[in-house]
Structure 1
Amino acid sequence: MKVLIVDDEQHVREGIKLLGEWDRLGVTELLEAANGQVAIEQIKRFQPEIVLTDIKMPEMDGMDLLKWIYDEKRNIKTVLITGYDDYGYMRKAIQYKSSDYILKPVDPEALNQTIEKTILLLKEEQNPFNIQMDQIQPKKEIKTIQLVEQYIQQHYLREVSLQEIADRFFISREYISRKFKQEYGQNLSDYLTNVRMDKAKQLLSDPNIKIYEVAHRIGYEDDKYFRKLFKKKVGVTPNEYRKTAKSFK
């Protein structure tokens, strides 16, 4: 993705280059021109996908440049960068199919949002199927991680390993580990432990269930280990928790 910045003031061009999050936006090359005539030469030579242009410039202004791009039927998205919030300019810009405009002094957030929107528009026109896939993919990823979470909820009685999840859902261990932590704020083993502790709290509310039975029912054969882990996670021993829970009844 190439972007051409057209402005007769060098400090404005430099400022835009500094403010843009170009790597994040996938822009690999930034081109510059001091007026519309130089811009046309750059367009012919480098074929940028996006042109950011000022309006008032010597030799050839921004509106003439927009008209040239429009008449030439170039597959270029144009954005006006101007200090003139004037309806007449905006109407002409719309006539020449300009995508958007940004007012000077340039706000970094406005600049990056506008570029991002313009890139998305460009990609959609080039290949609408890819845009649909780009939108579908994150939803599929979230759904997969939600299914992993449900699987843990259903199989908490035994140690659910990362490898087991990877084999079952046909995705890599590294991917599961990273995405699960992003979605739930903890890694898979910690989540499994916390599910077990929540089940333990429910069981401890019944005084007829022995502590070692609680441990067995949530997947721990060693009730001493369970007691130690419960205190570490909950802050009190199972017996102390049971007494506290009973006092609130």
Structure 2
Amino acid sequence: MKALIVDDEKHVRDGLNLLADWKGNGIEEVLEAENGEEAIELIATHRPAIVFSDMRMPKMNGIELLEWIFNSKYNCKTIVVSGYDDFEYMRNAIYYNSFDYILKPIDPEILNETLARAIGKWKEEFGGSVELEDREEDDTSMKAIKDYIFENYQSDVTLQDIAEKFYLSREHISRKFKQEYNETITDYLMKIRIEKAKELLTKPQLKVYEIAYKVGYQNEKYFSKVFKKYTGLTPNEFRKG
């Protein structure tokens, strides 16, 4: 199992790392993030069972992170660690199904008691099926990414755009896509574009530069180079043949 600590203050992250009995509770790896945006990438990639989160953070705060986890339906238990005994924070923590709310400064006994209960609840709800569900979620994510590329091949689709849209790291997407489909995202996108171009080349009224633009290439010469690399023929040679 993995755990994630999300807090913009390093001394708080260090304190949690030091005070929690990770090994005693079966946690093999502890990840860290400085804000909600970093946390989303780590959650999507590593699937931690437990997420400790501060509430006041830059870029994406704790409430926004709890909302994202809640809506994304990830199999994890969230524990809020905050220096603010604030009703609005607590209300949102309850609404987004946070397991507990711990106040700073952190009491080691309360921390470890809460951690043990959260892990027990996680095992009860998800422990037996989490590995299968993770594989299924990966398969679903890659299918959604493949469909997204197919639907947007005419646009300037980049790996960074895909990563931001699906809240996954570029490295994770590249690795999983290659494992699932035995080709890179770049190769898949090129294949779609060239196959569409081959269809359009059967229409004599269309110029080569028009076809290049229609399948996502802004430069006719580059399109012709890619087309020849893929088919062994230039667009004009393919059209004549």
Output the TM-score relative to the length of structure 1: 0.50
Asked whether 1:115 is paired with 2:115, we answer yes
1:124 is displaced (CA, Å) by 1.2
SS of the residue 1:59 aligns to: coil
C-alpha contact 2:6 2:36 (8 A) present in aligned 1: yes
Q: What is the rounded CA distance, in whole Å, between the counterparts of 1:87 and 1:114 in structure 2?
A: 20
Q: How many angstroms apart in 2 are the aligned matches of 1:99 and 1:35?
A: 19
Q: Distance in 1 between matches of 2:84 and 2:127?
A: 34
Give 4+ residue runs of structure 1 displaced > 2 Å after superposition.
none
After TM superposition, list the pairs within 5 Å mapping 1:1-249 onto structure 2: 1-126=1-126
Shift of 1:87: 1.7
Amino acid corresponding to residue 39 of structure 1 in structure 2: A
Supply the distance in 1 between the matched residues of 2:109 and 2:69 (Cα, whole angstroms). 27
Provide the rounded CA distance (Å) in 2 between the counterparts of 1:5 and 1:90. 19
Q: CA contact under 8 A between 2:75 and 2:126: conserved in structure 1?
A: no
Give the secondary structure class of the aligned counterpart of 1:101: strand
Which residues of structure 1 form unaligned runs of 5+? 129-249
- CA distance in structure 2 between the partners assigned to 1:2 and 1:54 by the alignment: 18
Distance 1:40 1:127, change over 3 A: closer
SS at match of 2:59: coil
The DSSP-based 3-state class of the residue aligned with 1:66 is helix
* Post-superposition offset of 1:45: 1.1
Which structure 2 segments of 5+ residues have no match?
Answer: 129-241
Task: Write the letter of the residue equivalent to 2:39.
Answer: A
TM-aligned CA deviation for residue 127 of structure 1: 5.6
Q: Please give the root-mean-square deviation of Cα atoms over the aligned residues, in Å.
A: 1.1
Identify the residue that residue 192 of structure 2 maps to in structure 1.
none
CA offsets per residue over residues 178-204 of structure 1, 9 Å max, x none? xxxxxxxxxxxxxxxxxxxxxxxxxxx
Q: Give the Cα separation in 2 of the matches to 1:127 and 1:112.
A: 20
Deviation at 1:44, TM superposition (A): 1.0
Secondary structure, aligned partner of 1:24: helix
Alignment: residue pair count: 128
Name the CA shift for 1:67/1:75 in 2 (closer, same or farther; >3 Å).
same
Q: What one-letter code is carried by the residue in structure 1 that aligns with 2:98?
A: S
- The percentage of aligned residue pairs carrying the same residue is 54
- Distance (whole Å) between structure 1 residues aligned to residue 26 and residue 11 of structure 2: 24
Q: Do the aligned partners of 2:6 and 2:32 also contact (CA within 8 Å) in 1?
A: yes
Shift of 1:73: 0.9
Task: Give distance in 1, aligned partners of 2:61 and 2:91.
Answer: 16
Q: What residue in structure 1 maps to residue 176 of structure 2?
A: none
SS of structure 2 residue aligned to 1:56 = coil
Q: Structure 2 length normalisation: TM-score?
A: 0.52
Q: Deviations over 1:87-119 (max 9, x none)?
A: 221111111010001100111111100000000
Residue by residue, what CA displacement relative to the aligned partner does 1:125-164 show, whole Å, maximum 9, x if unpaired?
1269xxxxxxxxxxxxxxxxxxxxxxxxxxxxxxxxxxxx
Distance 1:72 1:79 in 2: 17
CA distance in 2, matches of 1:92, 1:105: 21
Alpha-carbon separation, structure 2, partners of 1:91 and 1:56? 15
Counterpart of 1:42 in structure 2: which amino acid? Answer: L
